[in-house]
Amino acid sequence: MTLAHLVLGVLGAWFALNMGASGLAPSFGAALGARVVDAPRARWLFAGFVILGALTLGPTVAKTLSSGIVPMERFDTRATLVVLLATNVAMLVANVAAIPQSTSWVMIAALVALGVQQGALLTRTLTHRLLPAWLLLPLASFGLSALVIRAMYPLRGAKSFEVHGWLMRHRRVAHGLALASACYVAFAIGANNVANAVAPLSAAGALDVGTGMVLLSPLFGVGARLFTGPADTIARDLVPLGLVTATACNAIVASLLVVASSLGLPQSLVQLNAAAVLGVVLVKDGRAGLFAGKKTRSMLALWAITPLLAALLTFAALELSERWR
């Protein structure tokens, strides 16, 4: 391994740490908010299931990222270094602000900037696969969560009392289902998001996909331990999720993400999860409550800012590096 590859590996590891912080929020944030599991055990479970997901479906998504947006031969050491630096800075901004951010959006924004700057952007993958999925899957998450929660907790009637009674009688079962659904989301994160760190390194020849999955996926758990703010935002600031609500949202979100991963589509778990949470807000507080919260507005603003920041940093750094050659 050359010194350049070592530097790229360090940047890839840093990105995995940042992703771990953002990934714990949508997987175990609801369970933490409902006090199903404590934070230390959540981090261990999160790390374990991320690794499992990365080793099963992760390589499929990595293939799309390493050659579907920009040709693989464009990932020389300079370009890969710039992409990883830009995405790390953008994700660090989100983590410091304690706002869960989509690693897929940030990475793909940087890759699009790379493709535009070099005149090598493969637009078909974006227009025919990624953009439709990014539009339809969050809408599906929002709609399904609203339908399921409304069916379980109607605004009027006795069914809500029936649900409460069942929870009181079967509390251990409810806890187990909620925890299992959180682990399911962590698995889905591994299947989809680890590729964001592995794909540039693989394309640049720093390491192969299998080795990258093994080495970088455990760092997600470390990142979840270092940055706890995003999980706190989802768990406590957006909406208080009960046991049944948390389980339903996690099952919906994870299933959609696993489908995306099996198709090789980098998909935003954070957006899927937030869409599901907003579906709950719609049922509980009505349309007026959707964007009433200050944290919700901050989250939506930062979702636009950080991918744009990653793209601008990538484009500017590539332009400057060419002038200095």
Quote the pLDDT of residue 79.
92
Residues 95-105 pLDDT 10s = 677 666 678 88
Give the Å distances, CA to CA, from 1 to 9, 16, 67, 119, 219.
Answer: 10, 20, 22, 30, 21
Q: Are 31 and 182 in contact (CB under 8 A)?
A: yes
Residues 143-156 pLDDT 10s = 999 999 888 765 44
Residue 184 has pLDDT above 70, yes or no: yes
Q: How far apart, in whole angstroms, are the C-alpha atoms of residue 110 and residue 129? A: 18
Q: What is the DSSP letter of 293?
A: S
Among 17, 37, 320, residue whose Cα is nearest residue 175: 37
Quote the pLDDT of residue 14.
86
Per the model's pLDDT, the better-predicted residue between 103 and 163 turns out to be 103
Residues 69-98 pLDDT 10s = 999 989 998 999 999 999 988 887 876 776
Handedness of CA 18, 193, 107, 101 (dihedral sign): negative
Q: How far apart, in whole angstroms, are the C-alpha atoms of residue 55 and residue 192? A: 10
Residue ranges of domains in the chain:
3-323
